[in-house]
């Protein structure tokens, strides 16, 4: 009996969640910010490694100039 009750409640909750999800409307700015966020995150590792390399080279070259 407990299995039937838990199964029924679980099925009811899933059905209610799907009905709520069907009527959920996402505004356009959220799509725009979400897309920008995904673009930044997907390219973050490429740009940060180039930035670190460039900054390291600048520091090393400025250190050589000071020593000369």
Could you give the number of structural domains in the chain? 1
CA-to-CA separations, 30 to 3, 18, 35, 64, 68, in angstroms, rounded: 41, 21, 8, 49, 54
Residue 66 scores a pLDDT above 60: no
Report the C-alpha gap between 5 and 1 in whole angstroms: 6
Give the pLDDT confidence score for residue 10 in this predicted structure.
96
Report the C-alpha gap between 45 and 68 in whole angstroms: 35
18-53: per-residue pLDDT in tens?
A: 999 888 887 888 889 999 888 888 877 666 777 778
> Residue 49 is part of which domain span?
2-67
């Amino acid at each position: 009996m407990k299995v039937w009750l838990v199964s029924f409640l679980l099925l009811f909750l899933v059905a209610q969640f799907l009905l709520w999800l069907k009527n959920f409307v996402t505004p356009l700015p959220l799509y725009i910010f979400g897309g920008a966020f995904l673009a930044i995150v997907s390219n973050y590792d490429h740009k940060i490694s180039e930035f670190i390399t460039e900054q390291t080279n600048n520091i090393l070259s400025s250190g050589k100039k000071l020593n000369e």
